[in-house]
Amino acid sequence: MSLPGKHRVPPEVSPSPSPASRRSRLRPALGGGNRSGTGEPARSAAPAGELWLAIHLPDYILESLCQPVAAAGEAAAGDDAGHVVVVDPGRGGKVVCACGVTATAAGVAPGMALNSALALLPDARVLARDSRRERTLLETVAVMALDFTPRVNLDPPDGVLLEVRGSLRLFGGVRPLCARVGERLRARGLVPRIALTPTRLASLWFARSGIEVALRRPEALAGRLAALPLACTRWPERSLRSLATMGVRAVGDCLRLPRDGFTRRFELQMRLDLDRALGHAPDPCVAFVPGERFAARRDLEPELADTARLQRACEPLLDELCAFLQARGASVESLELRFLHRDAPPTRLRLRFAEPVTAAARIAALLRERLARAEWPEPVRSVRLRSGPLSEARAQPGDLFALDRGRASAVPQLVERLRARLGEEAVHGLCLVPEHRPEAAWEKGDILLFQSSGKGECPLFPSQRPVWLLAEPQRLEGEEQPRYQGALELKEGPERIESGWWDGRDVRRDYYVARTPAGVRVWIFRERRTPGGWFLHGVFG
Amino acid sequence: MNGAVSRQCQGLGPLSPIPDPRSPTSLDDLLRHPGLWRAREQGGAALRPGLPTGFASLDRCLPGAGWPLQGLVEILTDRNGIGELSLLMPVLARLCGGEHEDGWLAWISPPHQPYAPALAACGIDLRRVLVIRGQAAEWAMEQALRSGACSAVLGWAVCRDRQSLRRLQLAAEQSRCLAVLFRRLRDGSEPSPAVLRIALDGDRDGLEVRILKSRGGHAVSVRLGWASFATRAIAQ
């Protein structure tokens, strides 16, 4: 999925000029040689033609905690999310680290003490930050990004990068591509900042600054980057402060500084960042490899107990699952849904499909059956979806004359629907067992497994076998003349069936075909072991 | 005359909506277009040929010269095993036994266990037999009919209300399969939307097949001697 290759250059081979050669020159500036005339730093180390699209999520803390509820509750959800104030429990939980729209309007700001925030907005909902959910949000965005390109990197905690050079033609150019990416994210209720430049860092810096640019020419980078405030680089606070005391506040100011002095005074990483942002140094990064199983959750607000609304609440999760499957060309055979309650233990639903599936509609149909059967001890406050192991998807071939294709392919769907409502055991097939005792001559089979096995050859019996077999032989009245719905008339027989000592179910029977006065043909036997007697074992039907 | 015809032709607009050439489509989808009128789909059930029952005397009494394939067949009997399955075995073997057919045979909440060796001996392919048990027999039967997977569905459902019968009949009409519902004799006095209703009764000599209702046919009674079943068994 990832393309290891040209972009994975080890970091130590950065083509920075050796100190000796640098000292001999006239203090080259950080910004590169285009203006100073020195050749070395200007050499572009970025692989030619890369284009990086950066997605920055400024409100990721809030978005990871408050997922938008279904479209029906849009307005309510919007109001609700506005009142949220998030604190970081890792830092004592007393300082606001993010807040919703209403809270901002009321004067709450990140960095404020929680008590001050509550004083400004008494009805605020205080939530604790959850780094795991932030990571999940980022990975969700990355999975979505895989629809646009196979090369995706994460920049935790709030950035995702896509190398999109190869995708431009497919999506109709830079602008439409950026628009599509933005549209997808906004549909998920996220507020992204998107920037596109030839280098990773430059894209990220633009996106973090909130400037949505689309630059394709590397020469234009230095000029456009110059205006960005240095805060977007996320360099250490101490270094930024000392730069500020020197009057260096924007990236452009930084680029004018002498290269060797800057290297001596500040971290090596900072110089490297500048080189990478300008495309002068290679920028290796680890490709994002999506997880092998799908897991997602969705919190329900308010709590739901109604099956139809639960179904609707699960549908976005299923859509996400299907996008995930589609991105991998994969399918699933089982899913697990966990419905969390306030106090009661979680309700689990396991969906098993008769064959690997990829279509959301089919999963939703099965889910509907299961939800209708499920019993809820309490309203549901959160839904978690986890996929089983993935398998490779098989594409359905299209067919112009799709007249007779329906039958065989409809069976797995029918079976899984019936099983979802009636239970696993309720649907089974039949197969033959080479065995002389009538009750052991057949067994239940898994329908979908023995479709592939060869046709069981028809056994040859000395006499006919009944279509109905009783689960247990039924004792009949009468010693010499058996009676069942009247006196039985023996038509055929006897057929002697004996032995079975090897598994403890020994039999010694003489079977007869008999007919009742009403015309029902039955299969009866006379027990040859003491105490003897007649038994009904089957009905011919 | 000519004028009338041409006016009609003008009245028929173009077939719309025009199918999108890029979307995957099949001839079947095109033929489902409401603007298309297919002669063989018109007319009542009586015109459609049924599947031969395997009993010549019974075939003569049925309007399609056999079991109707579109619509519900009700078989009413109070005694399980009176011969209701022997009556169906020839057609089941034909629908679910031949090498070229791929239809499935569904047994929905049967009163006893269908015995695999006997079915195989009758010529039914066991790989395509589906046994369904459970509470919601009517629902399961409807699902089996609507799925299009089965070529024969045998159901032992109670069907207390007319609505569930009606649903089954509709599902059976839309599917192209043999749908048989087994009920009690006393249910014969109630009205039913089924296409064919047969009451079975027997004695030592043979099976009495009374056709209570037959769409496009007549209510008659046929007597099948046990001998005709016996010869069939030997032929199989």
Cβ proximity of A485 and A503 under 8 Å: no
- How far apart are alpha carbons A463 and A446 in whole angstroms? 29
The residues pairing with A160 across neighbouring beta strands, listed in sequence order, are A55, A154
Chain B window 17-36: which residues touch A at a Cβ cutoff of 8 Å? Answer: 24-29
What confidence score (pLDDT) does residue A103 get? 84
The identity of residue A278, as a single letter, is L
Cβ proximity of A54 and A206 under 8 Å: yes
What is the value of ipTM here, to two decimals?
A: 0.76
Q: Which residues lie below 8 Å from residue A375, measured CB to CB, with a gap of 6+?
A: A347
- Does B121 contact A459 at a Cβ distance shorter than 8 Å? yes
- How far apart are alpha carbons A221 and A40 in whole angstroms? 18
Cβ proximity of A317 and A80 under 8 Å: no
Minimal Cα–Cα distance from B84 to chain A, Å? Answer: 6
Q: Which residue has the tokens 């039985």?
A: A488
Average pLDDT estimate for A295-299? 85
- On chain A, the residues whose CB falls within 8 A of the CB of B134 are 418, 421-423, 426
Nearest to A518 among B86, B125, B203 (CB): B203
Rg of chain B over all Cα atoms, to the nearest angstrom: 21
What confidence score (pLDDT) does residue A457 get? 59
Q: Is the pLDDT reported for residue A27 higher than 50? A: yes
CB proximity A458 to B under 8 Å: yes
The answer to whether the pTM exceeds 0.90 is no
- On chain A, the residues whose CB falls within 8 A of the CB of B26 are 398-403
- Does B113 contact A469 at a Cβ distance shorter than 8 Å? yes
The residues pairing with A500 across neighbouring beta strands, listed in sequence order, are none
- How far apart are alpha carbons A200 and A221 in whole angstroms? 12
* CA A265 to each of CA A17, A271, A422: distance values in angstroms, whole numbers, following the listed order: 18, 10, 73
Q: In the CATH scheme, what is the homologous superfamily, with its name and number, of domain A11-57+134-278? A: Reverse transcriptase/Diguanylate cyclase domain (3.30.70.270)
Among chain B residues, CA nearest to A417: B143
Average pLDDT estimate for B182-188? 87
* CA A121 to each of CA A73, A300, B176: distance values in angstroms, whole numbers, following the listed order: 23, 24, 67
- Does B82 contact A458 at a Cβ distance shorter than 8 Å? no
Nearest to A467 among B118, B126, B149 (CB): B118
The CB density around residue B144, as the number of other CB atoms within 10 Å, is: 30
- How far apart are alpha carbons A27 and B74 in whole angstroms? 100
What confidence score (pLDDT) does residue A55 get? 93
How would you class A353 by CB atoms within 10 Å of its CB: exposed for 0-12, middle for 13-18, buried for 19 or more?
Answer: buried
Q: Is residue B183 within a helix (H) or strand (E), and if so which, with residue range?
A: strand B178-183
Q: Is the pLDDT reported for residue A99 higher than 60? A: yes
What confidence score (pLDDT) does residue A160 get? 93
Task: Express each pLDDT in A131-175 by its tens digit.
Answer: 888 888 898 899 889 889 988 999 888 899 999 988 888 998 899
Supply A430's token pair. 């039949």
**Residue % of chain A over a pLDDT of 70:** 83
Task: Express each pLDDT in B10-60 by its tens digit.
Answer: 444 444 444 454 455 667 777 777 676 665 554 444 456 778 888 888 888
Q: Please, what is the Cα angle at A419 between A413 and A421, to 5 degrees?
A: 110
Supply A8's token pair. 């994975």
What confidence score (pLDDT) does residue A181 get? 92
Minimal Cα–Cα distance from B216 to chain A, Å? Answer: 28
How would you class B40 by CB atoms within 10 Å of its CB: exposed for 0-12, middle for 13-18, buried for 19 or more?
Answer: exposed
- How far apart are alpha carbons A209 and A207 in whole angstroms? 5
The CB density around residue A128, as the number of other CB atoms within 10 Å, is: 11
Q: Look at residues A277, A250, A254 and name the one whose alpha carbon lies nearest to residue A266.
A: A254
* CA A189 to each of CA A137, A213, A276, A323: distance values in angstroms, whole numbers, following the listed order: 12, 22, 32, 16
Average pLDDT estimate for A326-330? 81
What confidence score (pLDDT) does residue A448 get? 64
Q: Is the pLDDT reported for residue A53 higher than 90? A: yes
Q: Look at residues A126, A132, A105, A102 and name the one whose alpha carbon lies nearest to residue A114.
A: A126
**Residue % of chain B over a pLDDT of 90:** 6
Cβ proximity of A405 and A370 under 8 Å: no
Cβ proximity of B101 and B51 under 8 Å: no
Phi, psi of A74 (to 5 degrees): -60, -55
- Which runs of consecutive H residues, i.e. helices, occur in A54-161? 60-65, 74-82, 101-105, 114-120, 131-145
**Three-state SS at A329:** coil
- Does A426 contact B132 at a Cβ distance shorter than 8 Å? yes
Supply A254's token pair. 């930084």
- On chain B, the residues whose CB falls within 8 A of the CB of A425 are 133
Q: How confident is the model at residue B232 (pLDDT cuts 50, 70, 90)?
A: low
- Does A521 contact B104 at a Cβ distance shorter than 8 Å? no
What confidence score (pLDDT) does residue A146 get? 86
- On chain A, the residues whose CB falls within 8 A of the CB of B180 are none
Kindly list the structural domains of chain B, giving each domain's residue range(s) and its CATH number in brackets, ordered by start: 50-235 (3.40.50.300)
Q: Is the pLDDT reported for residue A33 higher than 60? A: no
- Region of residue A204 (left: phi > 0; alpha: psi -120 to 50; beta: else): alpha
- Stronger pLDDT, B22 or A211, i.e. the higher one: A211
- On chain B, the residues whose CB falls within 8 A of the CB of A518 are 79, 82, 201-203
Burial code (b: 16+ CB inside 10 Å, e: under 16) for A44-75 equals: bbbbeebbbbbbbbbbbbbbbbbbbbeeebee
Q: Is the pLDDT reported for residue B233 higher than 80? A: no
What confidence score (pLDDT) does residue A378 get? 86
Average pLDDT estimate for A6-34? 48
Q: How confident is the model at residue A32 (pLDDT cuts 50, 70, 90)?
A: low
How would you class A539 by CB atoms within 10 Å of its CB: exposed for 0-12, middle for 13-18, buried for 19 or more?
Answer: buried
- How far apart are alpha carbons B109 and B106 in whole angstroms? 10
- On chain B, the residues whose CB falls within 8 A of the CB of A468 are 80-81, 85, 110-115
- On chain A, the residues whose CB falls within 8 A of the CB of B118 are 464-467, 469
Task: Express each pLDDT in B118-164 by its tens digit.
Answer: 888 888 888 888 899 888 888 899 988 888 888 899 998 777 788 88
Nearest to B148 among A407, A417, A429 (CB): A407
Q: Look at residues A478, A484, A491 and name the one whose alpha carbon lies nearest to residue B80.
A: A484
Beta strands in A305-346 (DSSP E): 330-341
HEC sequence for A196-214: EECCHHHHHHHHHHCCCCE
Q: How confident is the model at residue B1 (pLDDT cuts 50, 70, 90)?
A: very low
- Does B130 contact A429 at a Cβ distance shorter than 8 Å? yes
DSSP string for residues in A235-265: --HHHHHHHHHTT--BHHHHHTSBHHHHHHH
A270-284, B3-17, B130-144, B168-182: segment of lowest average pLDDT: B3-17
Domain boundaries, given as residue ranges, for chain A: 11-57+134-278, 71-129, 295-392, 468-539
Q: Is the pLDDT reported for residue A13 higher than 70? A: no
Mutation target vs B (from A401, A407, A520; most B CBs, 10 A cutoff): A407
Q: Which residue has the tokens 């719905």?
A: A485
Q: Is the pLDDT reported for residue A54 higher than 90? A: yes
What confidence score (pLDDT) does residue B11 get? 40
What confidence score (pLDDT) does residue A432 get? 83
What confidence score (pLDDT) does residue A206 get? 93
- On chain B, the residues whose CB falls within 8 A of the CB of A451 are 127-128
Average pLDDT estimate for A420-428? 84
Q: Which residue has the tokens 């009538």?
A: A438
Average pLDDT estimate for A343-353? 86
- How far apart are alpha carbons B117 and B126 in whole angstroms? 9
- Stronger pLDDT, A372 or A207, i.e. the higher one: A207
Cβ proximity of A493 and A510 under 8 Å: yes
Question: In the structure, how many helices (H) and strands (E) does chain B have?
Answer: 8, 9
Nearest to A541 among B85, B130, B132 (CB): B85
Supply A342's token pair. 């306030």
Nearest to A466 among B118, B133, B144 (CB): B118
Mean pLDDT of all residues in chain A?
Answer: 80
Q: Tell me: domain A295-392, CATH 3.30.1950.10, correct? A: no
Cβ proximity of A412 and A403 under 8 Å: no
Q: Look at residues A355, A352, A368, A266 and name the one whose alpha carbon lies nearest to residue A311.
A: A368
Supply A309's token pair. 């609304």
What confidence score (pLDDT) does residue A456 get? 52
What confidence score (pLDDT) does residue A400 get? 61
Q: How many CB pairs under 8 A join A and B?
A: 195
Fold that domain A71-129 belongs to in CATH: MutS, DNA mismatch repair protein, domain I (3.40.1170)
Q: Which residue has the tokens 């906004």?
A: A186
Task: Express each pLDDT in B60-99 by its tens digit.
Answer: 888 878 888 888 899 998 887 888 888 888 888 888 766 5
CB proximity A461 to B under 8 Å: yes
